[in-house]
Structure 1
């Protein structure tokens, strides 16, 4: 899961502690290319406005903590785009196609806490926002295909979560442990879409290590810990009533997610940034073995994120091949290389547990993720040009 969706995205959380206004001097030249300087206690965007169209935020982390940068909708909940895991001294670009309207920019030093947010306005440039001509047809096809994929995955997620919850409440722990990673894969395939609903993600997918002060530990990972308590020193198992409450809430939230994804549509930059976001998820938690700390079923999640990123890229391939066939070929090659390494860890219909991997195997997977991340990070700019 992404560690962003806590207090920063809570409903109605518009006033953030320690906010810094986006009042740095505007970048010279291109008004649609804005420099962002993120530190441990500030979030300086070169301008608080930009013309509508393709806007690039070049984010540099000048602090000592890993940082993240977001553009949020006017409600402060919907994530328009994000770049995560920006280490100290590193820079990353976020490329978006922005329509006229009101937004928020936000940084999250250390990837915890309330974050640093400021209003951001997109002024009508009079130019068409989004693709035209043949490009529009390619994007419409990609949007239709990806929306269908999201609906299918949430259909399967709901059905398998229902079975998982039934097993948990019946005390059938062995069955629940078998169902857990299989159901989770459907969440992981659409994780960036699920995370766009800031009220659901913290309840459904928060890891215990990333909880904010006072935040309840609920959702998938709360039940995971109760099913695999071996690594929890001095752990006291939940009562049947406590289990049932957590399980019922997870199922209710899954039903809400399912309902919200029935009518979604996607722009080219949302699809391509989503693919990169899924790869960031792999780098942030799966390849490190932190996501499924109790069950060590991280490779299922790893595969789910890769599946979702691949589907997003494949939907945009006709447009990407037209814009940059060389880049498309690089992405194709690196997906194949990464999948080959994952396939080597398959066991029956699933995967070996993460603790069975050697340091060399983990490093190989990490290197392959980085090799794919580099060309995939260029896809949004390519399809929007």
Structure 2
């Protein structure tokens, strides 16, 4: 969850730095160059507290790679490319000194570059003309078409599971049953965390469902899973939570309706997988995400499995494009998931994350970092 006030992201970076766990991501020039789509138009976005500088602000239709850099901005840690109020691509969790890329195939039209918390948050971005038809191996194109179709089915399926799982949770909240609500919290969130990048693309829907207290300007307007989490584990009372539970059900139902009509492009699958790894790094490993319940490892696994699913759908095409990269990413996913096994309980859940020491968190960080770098190259490969 990445909106809109960056307090949480900044604190997460501070925690990582204090623990010696800083993740490199895609912060070097070489890595950014490796993540650029072949033949793509390059767009540079410089995060600035006054207003993000986008160069150029108009490009021809076709493949594009956005290089996002934060040299010194403290209030702005992300850039989004939006169209019609929906996010089509983004790079987030960029504290000063970090940079990253995302690649897309863009059709002609009017877009917006949105940098939350900048003095001027939005700037126009234009795509013109018609993309040049590129020669693509028919087998690769077929595999990519199958990937996006398969991902849409996957997202619909996971949200179909999210709806009743959330109702089990909210029914317990409305009944004032603290123990039942606590037991249902992590299982419900699991389905959401698997497909979080899709939910994030729908404007304010993700903050309504998944915002932490740091992410809202007015705490009295705070809603969603984490508002109820605080009531359960910190306040030890569900008084006044029924309206929050009702809204959570309504927001999840809205998500179900939106994903049924949403289509994707291959690069969005890869970008989403990368963002799920960034979610792990920025808020799960730090313990910030589920700070009251300490169920972070459940979210961690869901993020990784959601990213792995997107990658696995792309893997047949990527195998034809860059077999070595496909093999590397596949193995790194396995290594990350294996690293979680020591923390699983006999009941299928995970240990309380507050019991996981710095050395163990450092190990998890290293595994995630080893996956994040090659995974960040996939979007460019399937966009070219």
User: Per the shorter chain, which TM-score range?
Assistant: 0.7 to 0.9
SS of 2:132's equivalent? coil
**How big is the shift at 1:132?**
6.9
SS of 1:228's equivalent? helix
CA contact (8 A) 2:163 2:252 kept: yes
**How big is the shift at 1:130?**
10
SS of 2:92's equivalent? strand
One of 151, 162, 167 as aligned partner of 1:162: 167
Is the alpha carbon distance of 1:365 and 1:249 closer, same or farther for their aligned partners in structure 2, counting shifts above 3 Å? Answer: same
One of 343, 346, 362 as aligned partner of 1:345: 343
The residue that corresponds to 1:324 in the other structure is 322
The residue that corresponds to 1:357 in the other structure is 356
Q: Distance in 2 between matches of 1:159 and 1:114?
A: 41
CA contact (8 A) 1:131 1:384 kept: no
Q: Distance in 2 between matches of 1:214 and 1:222?
A: 9
1:1-385 matches, cutoff 5 A = 1-4=1-4, 32-65=41-74, 67-73=77-83, 75=84, 77-108=85-116, 112=117, 116-128=121-133, 133-213=138-218, 216-229=221-234, 235=235, 237-239=237-239, 242-348=240-346, 349-385=348-384
Is the alpha carbon distance of 1:295 and 1:214 closer, same or farther for their aligned partners in structure 2, counting shifts above 3 Å? Answer: closer
CA contact (8 A) 1:330 1:375 kept: yes
Which stretch shifts more, 204-213 or 357-366?
A: 204-213
**How big is the shift at 1:59?**
1.7
Which structure has more RCO (C-alpha within 8 Å, separation ≥ 6)? 2
CA contact (8 A) 2:40 2:62 kept: no
CA contact (8 A) 1:36 1:45 kept: yes
Q: Distance in 2 between matches of 1:94 and 1:188?
A: 21
Is the alpha carbon distance of 1:79 and 1:361 closer, same or farther for their aligned partners in structure 2, counting shifts above 3 Å? Answer: same
Q: Distance in 2 between matches of 1:136 and 1:292?
A: 40
Q: Distance in 2 between matches of 1:259 and 1:107?
A: 27
CA contact (8 A) 1:60 1:92 kept: yes
CA contact (8 A) 1:97 1:130 kept: no
**How big is the shift at 1:166?**
1.0
Relative to the length of structure 2, the TM-score reads: 0.86
Describe the superposition over 1:208-234 as per-residue Cα deviations: whole angstroms up to 9, x where unpaired.
Answer: 1221146611110111111101xxxxx
Relative to the length of structure 1, the TM-score reads: 0.86
The answer for unaligned runs of 5 or more in structure 2 is 7-38
Q: Distance in 1 between matches of 2:148 and 2:40?
A: 28
Q: Distance in 1 between matches of 2:79 and 2:135?
A: 23
SS of 2:149's equivalent? helix
Q: Distance in 2 between matches of 1:46 and 1:31?
A: 14
The residue that corresponds to 2:30 in the other structure is none
Q: Distance in 2 between matches of 1:260 and 1:364?
A: 38
Which stretch shifts more, 205-214 or 99-108?
A: 205-214
SS of 2:122's equivalent? strand
Describe the superposition over 1:117-168 as per-residue Cα deviations: whole angstroms up to 9, x where unpaired.
Answer: 1010101144138967333211111011111110110011001111111111
Task: Name the structure where helix makes up a greater proportion of residues.
Answer: 2
CA contact (8 A) 1:52 1:129 kept: no
CA contact (8 A) 2:49 2:118 kept: no
Describe the superposition over 1:61-82 as per-residue Cα deviations: whole angstroms up to 9, x where unpaired.
Answer: 1214262111101x2x200001
SS of 2:293's equivalent? coil
SS of 1:89's equivalent? coil
Is the alpha carbon distance of 1:31 and 1:145 closer, same or farther for their aligned partners in structure 2, counting shifts above 3 Å? Answer: closer
Q: Distance in 1 between matches of 2:293 and 2:119?
A: 29
Q: Distance in 1 between matches of 2:110 and 2:62?
A: 14
Describe the superposition over 1:283-311 as per-residue Cα deviations: whole angstroms up to 9, x where unpaired.
Answer: 11111100001101000111110010000
